[in-house]
Every structure is written in C-alpha cells, then in structure tokens.
Amino acid sequence: MRYPFPVGKSDFIQGDEAIARAAILAGCRFYAGYPITPASEIFEAMALYMPLVDGVSIQMEDELASMAAIIGASWAGAKAMTATSGPGFSLMQENLGYAIMTETPVVVVDVQRGGPSTGQPTLAAQGDIMQAIWGTHGDHSLIVLSPSTVQEAFDMTIRAFNLAEKYRTPVVLLTDAEIAHMRERVYIPLPEEIEIVERKLPANEEEAKYPFGDIHGDGIPPMPIFGKGYRTYVTGLTHDERGRPKTVDAEVHERLIKRIVEKLERNKADIVSYETFGMEDAEIAIVSTGIVARSAIRAVKILRERGIKAGMLKLNTIWPFDFDMIEELAERVEKIYVPEMNLGQLYHLVREGANGKAEVKLISKIGGEVHTPMEIVERVVS
Amino acid sequence: MYLKSAYEIRDKYLRKDMLPTIFCPGCGIGSALQYTLRAIDDLGLNPDEIVWVSGIGCSSRVPGFVNFDGLHTTHGRALAFATGIKLANPDLKIIAFMGDGDAAAIGGNHFIHAIRRNLDITVILINNFTYGMTGGQVAPTALKGLRGTTAPYGQFENPFDIADLAVSAGANYVARWSVFNYLQGINSIKKALQKEGFTLVEFLSPCPISFGRRNRMKTAPELLRWYQRITVPISKAKNMSPEELEGKIVIGEFVDRDRPGLIREYEEYKKRAKRMMGWEE
C-alpha cells in the first residue's frame, strides 16, 4: 500500500493534518464533510489523500448530510469519518443519535471554537464538552476523546477508529482550534507499527439474524454489513434484537438502551485513559483536558518549585467518565482545580465525581486564549 | 405484459413476520411498493445487491416490510445516507422510498444536491400532499386551497412540483404517475432501475384517512377519481395554456437522458488524481 505522505518518520505538521493522516492509516476510506473553521484543513487533507488511496472524500451540502453519509458508508462496510466545529457539530447531533441508536461505528472530529452560535470561528475554546456528551437527545452513551498535543491528535484518531469498531459506537474526537492549527513534530508510524481493530462481523447466517442482539454476552452484536445477503433492516426506531421496530414496548426499549449504554460503561477500564503528573504526594490536584492540560502541567511544575504539593490529572477520555476515579482522587487531596476554556463544563463532571470529598474550584477562561501557566498558579496560591 | 399474482410477489419479497403493514385502508403506498417489487422481479435483479433507504413517515416504513438490506433513517435525510452507502460500495443498487415531506421539505436540500451530483439511485416518491403519519399536516406539494391540520382554511402557499424540480436539478430520468397508472408505473420503475445516475418515479398516492377526510374525499375511490380529474398527460399538457393548467398536475415521463452518474465521475476523478500526482500514467 502506497501512502501519499511519509510514513515511518517524523513530520512537522498541524493538528488537522495529523488527524487526516492518522485516519488514513487507521483504515478510513470514506470522508464526508462540510467546510468550517477551524476544521477545514482536515477535509482539505482528506480531499488530497483519499482518491490516491482508493477512498472517497465528498463535500456534502451540509453537516446533517455529512453525518448521514458516514453512517451510510459504515453500513456499507467502510471506516468513515467527518470533521466539523461547534456549529456544525450541533447540526450533526440528530444523526449522531441515529448512529448511537443503530450502533454504527463512525468517527466525528469536533474542532472546538468559541461559541455559542457562530461565535469566534478562529479562536480556541472547550465549550463543546457537554455538547459532545449530551448533545443528542434521549438516553445514550458514546465515546469522547480529547488530545492535548498534535501527536496525541494523531494517536487518538487511530484509537478513535479502533474504539468505534470494537464497541460499534460513534466516537467523538474533541479537539480545538489551538491544536488544529499548531504545528508540532509528529511521528507518523509505519502501518505495521499500528494496531488496527476491525469490527466484529457475523460468523454465520444465524448470528446475522440478530444484528442488535447480545449474542456473545459482551453487549456488542456483530454488525452484518450491507450487500452480504443477510438482509438486515436498520432503523432509528426502538427495535428488538432482530432489528424489528417495537416502538411501544417498554421492555424492548429498556433492554436496547441499557445495553447500548452499558456496553461502554462496563468496558470503562479499556476505554478510559488518563495520565497523572506528581499525584503521588499531591495535596492539590489540577484536573484538565485538551490544550489547557499543557498549561496545567507547567503550572504544577511552578507550584512544586514554590513548595506547593500540586499534582495533575490529564483526562484523555472525557466520556465515559470515571467518576469513581475522581472520588478516589478527591479523598487524597484537599482541593481540586479545574482550568478549562469555558464557564465550567468539565467542572460539573469533576464536582460530581469528587462527591464532596474535596473542594472543587473552577478556573475558567473564555474569549479564545489558553490559560497561561501563571494564571493557573495564581488562582491556586491566591 | 404478464403479471404474476400479488400473492406470489408478496411471498417472494415481504418479511412475513412484519405483516400486517401499518398502512391505512385505501392508502396508495402498497401499490407503489408492489410496482417496485414487480419491476425488480421482472428485471431479475438480485435482492442481495439492493439496499432500500428511507427517511421518516408512512412511506419510509417500507424498507421494514421488504426482505432486503434496509436503512430507515431520520426525516428527510435518506438521500444523504444513501450517498454514503453508494460511494462506499458502488456494487449495491439503491432504492430510496420516500415521501413528499421527506423529499421536498425537510430533505429538500439533500434532494436537489443528490440530483445535482447525479447520485446513482432510484427514488420512489410517494406524493399524497400531506404528512400522513403525523396526522394530516400540509405538505409543500399541496396544491393551493387543499386543507391540512396546519392549513385548516386551505393552503395559501405555492406548491413544489417535485418532478419539475428534479428535471431542473439534473436527474437522468423523471416520471410521475398516480398509483392507478400501474402499467406506466411499473414500466417507469423498470426503466429507472436500469439507468445510471439519479432516477425518480413520483406517485400521486391516495391518503384517505389523513388527507382525503379533510378534503371531502373520504375514500380511496374518491381520491382516485380526483386524481383522474386533476392529472393531465404530458403530451396533452404541451398544448395547454398556463391558465388551463392551473390546479392540474402533469403526469408522464419528463426526462430520459444519460448524463454520467456520480460513481462513474468519482472513478474518473480518482484516476485523474493519481495521474496528477504522477502515481499512474
């Protein structure tokens, strides 16, 4: 397989470019999108690369259509992705819910910018955390990943495809304008260095009869893709194990929705990923994610130099959320600070997780600039 | 033309465990479905290679009743989903079964853009001037003066002519019939299924319960007689003045051409990309 970019070596590239290259290495062969700042470079890179690797890149009429097209492509057997920013992500919520309901593996990149509405197109924000988790309607669950560096944007894109395929669910890669446009050195691995997960297909006709049934006891039904003779019917309506609409049957609805939610909840240990810095003896914890985590790590170093026992928890996944882990952390420290580029979204989750065991304080900043390390330090020492 | 019995078509193509259908007495969707299945049968197409796609509404429940791969999606988005399926696996033949609201209102943008791209797909469009499933609200195809629950005093907006719209947007094949033009209907679907690019067969379809009841046509026969009155064959319409055509609906074949479809265009595009990058001669 020939790649339209160098593999097995480092390159100095933007976050958006890293995401596009990672998607292609992860096996993505269908991209549908609609241009929006600051996510457009992902599309532009995909438009450049996809025809060369016999994939498809298509500019749809809007974000609703882009999300719909990648779901269709996934049912036709392709690994599929779209990318957008907050306003476009809002438009995708309808069909994101459809992907959750029909257990369709797809990857959606949301490069956050300042909102609400068209807000600040060219500046970074972390205002879509709640939208990513709860934006679509009804009881549901999905996976949300959050990179802090361009290298992480690359690595997490591959992971997003793997998790989507493994758990038959949409995965949101929640990044921001800062990472999207920042150039950093990224190692682009050789294809053989990457672990690729493929979706579970039905082993036989019998298995294919239950495209929404927990036939293996792991909550993840094999996915009978179209054109294989299985005659699968997929609907966004509440459906039974065979995919038949059962819209007024309370039991069927409960069984379906609980399985969809629980297949991720019970695999938290596999999905949830985080890193800690100096947490061993910490009395103060800083919990953050995405671009702000970089300032927070520096802040921890400065605080340590000043004799304050600070530690840092960097969340690489935002959902599923490990509330228990936060509670354990809260039991060990006096205060938790949550710096984030919004008026408090991650803060809600951390406070719920802390469960009153430690004081949780928000360090909020909006308007487009990332917190400087000193801004975090000053709030902690004040 | 020899017609197989309806039972034979039913037994061959419908999911028996899904029957009875949700359709009301006098509804025309079953007829349009039967014509589509007869066309598939007559052409000897392999059901394993056909995917049915739909949006929301009465007509969009059809993919659930037929024993094929099917994607029952969100309101108006059927063609956007279909674009993904077709481009990801061009070997699949796609039939979109959709309603007037699906195609012309909430899905209007997807509709014109799928046609502009000449997406390789056959659309069977059920036009009953109303939102049947949600209880008889007025559709953007409703002729002026027709009543719906959201236009209780009669529609005051201009209607969309879906077939006209499809021709202008660039479809390769567009035909419109009412569901009682069964031979023309079946023949049009057969033609549509064999063509490259975007093909549309629109059916004026009776909805006595949600639509007819509010417009003094409580039964299917009354609606059929009304369709007979308001439809004008395209050959005759050519010699009629705009005044004479006021309130009438033209039926027949509107266009039959062979512009390259999206799949062929994209295959060419891929080759061009590789040539321009020096990957291929």
B256–A contact, CB cutoff 8 A? no
ipTM of the complex: 0.97
Query: Per the CB < 8 Å rule, is A227 touching B91?
Result: yes
pLDDT tens string B53-89:
999 999 999 999 999 999 999 999 999 999 999 999 9
pLDDT at position A351 is 98
A233–B contact, CB cutoff 8 A? yes
Residue in A61, A228, A234 closest to B71 by CB: A234
To the nearest whole Å, the CA of A73 is away from the closest chain B CA by: 4
Query: Per the CB < 8 Å rule, is A76 touching B92?
Result: yes
DSSP E strand boundaries for A45-179: 56-59, 79-84, 106-112, 143-145, 170-176
Residue A189: count of CB within 10 angstroms of its CB: 16
pLDDT at position A1 is 86
pLDDT at position B266 is 98
Place B169 in a pLDDT band, splitting at 50, 70 and 90.
very high
A38 upstream amide cis, omega within 30 of 0: yes
A292–B contact, CB cutoff 8 A? no
A 38-57 residues with CB < 8 A to B: 51-52, 54, 56
DSSP H stretches of helix in chain B? 6-13, 29-43, 62-65, 78-88, 100, 108-117, 162-169, 182-194, 220-230, 234-237, 242-245, 262-276
pLDDT at B279 over 70: yes
Order the strands of the A79-84 sheet from edge to edge.
A56-59, A28-33, A79-84, A106-112, A170-176, A143-145, A317-319
Measured between beta carbons, the chain A residues lying within 8 angstroms of B63 are 233
Q: What is the dihedral of CA A365, A366, A367, A369, to 10 degrees?
A: 40
Question: Nearest chain A Cα to B277, which residue?
Answer: A52
Q: How many contacts (CB atoms, under 8 Å) link A and B?
A: 144
A62–B contact, CB cutoff 8 A? yes
Question: Nearest chain A Cα to B78, which residue?
Answer: A68
To the nearest whole Å, the CA of B65 is away from the closest chain A CA by: 9
Residue B19 to residue B28: CA distance in whole angstroms: 17
B264–A contact, CB cutoff 8 A? no
Does residue B86 contact residue B46 with C-beta atoms inside 8 Å? Answer: no
pLDDT at B1 over 70: no
Token readout for B101 is: 């609201």
pLDDT at position A100 is 98
B46–A contact, CB cutoff 8 A? no
What is the average pLDDT across B177-185? 95
Measured between beta carbons, the chain A residues lying within 8 angstroms of B49 are 227
Measured between beta carbons, the chain B residues lying within 8 angstroms of A245 are 61, 64, 72
Residue B78 to residue A1: CA distance in whole angstroms: 34
Does residue A41 contact residue A16 with C-beta atoms inside 8 Å? Answer: yes
B152 upstream amide cis, omega within 30 of 0: no
Place B3 in a pLDDT band, splitting at 50, 70 and 90.
confident
Does residue A157 contact residue A118 with C-beta atoms inside 8 Å? Answer: no
Does residue B55 contact residue B123 with C-beta atoms inside 8 Å? Answer: no
What 3-state class would DSSP assign to B130? strand
Measured between beta carbons, the chain A residues lying within 8 angstroms of B73 are 68, 71, 95, 98, 236
Regions of chain A short of the pLDDT cut 50: none
B273–A contact, CB cutoff 8 A? yes
Mean pLDDT, chain B, integer = 96
To the nearest whole Å, the CA of B43 is away from the closest chain A CA by: 19
Task: Tell me which residue of A169, A149, A6, A27 sits closest to A99, measured CA to CA.
Answer: A169
Q: Which residues of B65-93 are buried (b: 16+ CB within 10 A; e: fewer)?
A: bbebbbbbbbbbbbbbbbbbbbbbbbebb
Residue A241 to residue A79: CA distance in whole angstroms: 24
Kindly list the distances between the CA atom of residue B202 and the CA atoms of A378, B164, B166, in Å, as whole numbers in the listed order. 68, 11, 10
pLDDT tens string B134-157:
999 999 999 999 999 999 999 999
pLDDT at B2 over 90: no
Please list, in sequence order, all residues whose beta carbon lies within 8 angstroms of the beta carbon of residue A351, skipping any fewer than 6 positions away. Answer: A360
Phi, psi of B169 (to 5 degrees): -75, -15
Query: Per the CB < 8 Å rule, is B81 touching A78?
Result: no
Which secondary structure element, helix H or strand E, spans residue A253, and what is its range?
helix A250-265
**Bridge partner list, A285:** A311, A336
A32–B contact, CB cutoff 8 A? yes
